[in-house]
Amino acid sequence: MPTLVWIILAAVFTAILTWAGAQAQFKATRRQMARKLRRAEAEVRVNTSEAERILGSIELGVIAYNTEGRLVTANRAARILIPRPPKTFRDFLEAYGQDAAFRSSVFLGSPLAVTVYRRENLCLRLQVQTRGVGAGGANRLVLIQDFSRQDKEERMRKEFVANVSHELKTPLTTIKTYSESLIDWGLAEKSEEAQRKDLQRIYDDSIRMEKLISDLLLLSSLDARGFHTTVEQGDPAWLIRQTCERMQYQAEEKQIELSCQIMNNIPAVYLDRAALERILTNLVSNALKYSPEKSKVAVYVGAVREEVYFKVKDQGFGIPAEDQAHIFDRFFRVDQTGSRQHGGTGLGLSIVKELVELHRARIDLNSVLGQGTEFTVMMPTAKKVLRETLHALIENEAQQDIITAAAAEDLSALARQLGIVAKWTSMTSSEKQALETIINADSEAELLSAQA
Ligand code: ADP
């Protein structure tokens, strides 16, 4: 074969080998690249879902818009506060950017613009962060915080201060005016009867101010959880009977028949004597104030299943249906003049409600205008509280309230009596059963006599 042919064959052979090698290498590189791509994709997926998980778990609402102003993502918290996040940033501004200063701040590309959005009871603090302003548009991140509770508290605080000032100003004005008239006229120029009347007005309004201040102090100590209590198991019937007897004098002034009907065998409840007395005094005193002369007011005490109830029923003016939802609000009065005439502060029922809740009890109202009113307080029996507290202690879910604290103390004493040394959370089921048997088996009379 001529040398040239050999040379050509060798060249072709080398080219084929090089091509095959290159092909193999190209395939390997492609496989490697595909592997890398798959790994990168998986990494992006993990990172994205991790980012979504983190975004979803934070309490702060986050909505993101891309450079074209389109919605990219809205986390769980944002969807709770804004259930249908606007699809574009322009729509978002339309819906939530009523504040002119905020809008212009956003349009001028300020890196941070803040506004407060209010609708009905909702109050949101919206913070728009703008990044990368340029020809291609900017990314926008909307951070949303729910301020509804704080906003409501602030509104209530302002309203409360305004009410207190008004309530204090009214009797103070009377005291000032009447004492001025006594000074200016000179005692000699006024008849004894007129002087007596003026002094009576001054005295009545000073008493009203005193009552208002003491009610306010009580409410403030309840708010601050600083109300001093001595909670113990006790017989509510005895206390209620005593209170009714003490109020007979007030009833007689209006010739109202005040009766107290108590069922037999009322179970013991956890109570603070002073607080329970205050609840009943306020309810009976209202029943007497808002009832006509010669009518009847009755107090009933009974027990249903695991609750002890007491009911104060009158034949008075009743409370209009539309006012019933507000009856426990501070300073709420159905009839302003009627309440003031009786020296009312408008705080009595709000104090009652707070004290009732302190006992882990509830209060219901049933009233028909022109026919009468019935307030019913339902308290859990001591047995029920003990059983629930035992369960909560074992499950480590006990609440931080005064009734639970008193019941927990009684349970510790019972456990000691039974020789149980284990902590609540590591108590065996037989130890728990032994305690439950004692709680359920003890008759109320035995519990009370043990208490005494
Ligand atoms: P007040 O000091 O004005 O009596 P309360 O908080 O005790 O304040 O009661 C709030 C308002 O509820 C009263 O002003 C009165 O209008 C109404 N009210 C309370 N109890 C009765 C009742 N038994 N019958 C009719 N209206 C009542």
290 lines ligand 1 (CB under 6 A): yes
Q: What pLDDT, on a 0 to 100 scale, did the predictor assign at position 206?
A: 94
How does pLDDT run across 331-378, given as a tens digit for each residue? 998 876 567 777 788 999 999 999 999 999 999 999 999 999 999 999
Q: Is the CB of 287 under 6 A from ligand 1?
A: yes
Q: Is the predicted pLDDT of residue 451 greater than 60, yes or no?
A: no
Residue 93 pLDDT more than 50?
yes
Is 215 a pocket residue for ligand 1 (Cβ < 6 Å)? no
Instruction: Work out the pLDDT band at 328, boundaries 50, 70, 90.
Output: very high
pTM exceeding 0.75:
no
Percent with pLDDT over 70 in the chain: 92
Query: Which of residues 152 and 38 earns the better pLDDT score?
Result: 152
Q: How far apart are CA 429 and CA 344, in angstroms?
A: 54
pLDDT at 387: 94
**Using 50, 70 and 90 to split pLDDT, how confident is the model at 138?**
confident
Please say if the pLDDT value at position 156 is more than 90: no
Q: Could you tell me the distance, in angstroms and rounded to a whole number, from the CA of residue 286 to the centre of ligand 1?
A: 6
CA atoms within 13 A on the CB side of 317: 12
Using the predicted structure, report yes or no on whether residue 452 has a pLDDT greater than 80: no
Length reported for the chain: 452
Tell me the mean pLDDT in the region 130-145: 80
Q: Is the pLDDT of residue 8 over 90?
A: no
Q: Is 344 in the pocket of ligand 1 (CB under 6 A)?
A: yes
Q: Whose CA is nearest to atom 20 of ligand 1?
A: 286
Is the CB of 314 inside a 6 Å radius of any atom of ligand 1?
yes
Indicate the top mutation candidate among 216, 280, 290 to test ligand 1's pocket, ranked by most ligand atoms within 8 A of CB. 290
Q: What is the mean pLDDT of residues 25-31?
A: 80
pLDDT at 136: 65
Cα–ligand 1 centroid distance for 212 (angstroms): 15
The pLDDT assigned to 134 comes to 61
* C-beta of 236 in contact with ligand 1 (< 6 A): no
Give the model confidence (pLDDT) of 96-113 as tens digits: 988 899 999 988 888 899
pLDDT value at residue 76: 92
51-78 tens-digit pLDDT: 677 777 778 999 999 988 999 999 999 9
Mean pLDDT of the chain: 88
Question: Which ranges in 266-347 belong to alpha helices (H)?
Answer: 273-289, 336-341
pLDDT at 450: 46
Nearest CA to 402 out of 372, 357, 439 is that of 357
Q: Whose CA is nearest to atom 21 of ligand 1?
A: 286
What is residue 135's predicted lDDT score, i.e. its pLDDT?
61
- What pLDDT digit, counting tens, does each position of 385-403 carry? 999 999 999 999 888 889 9
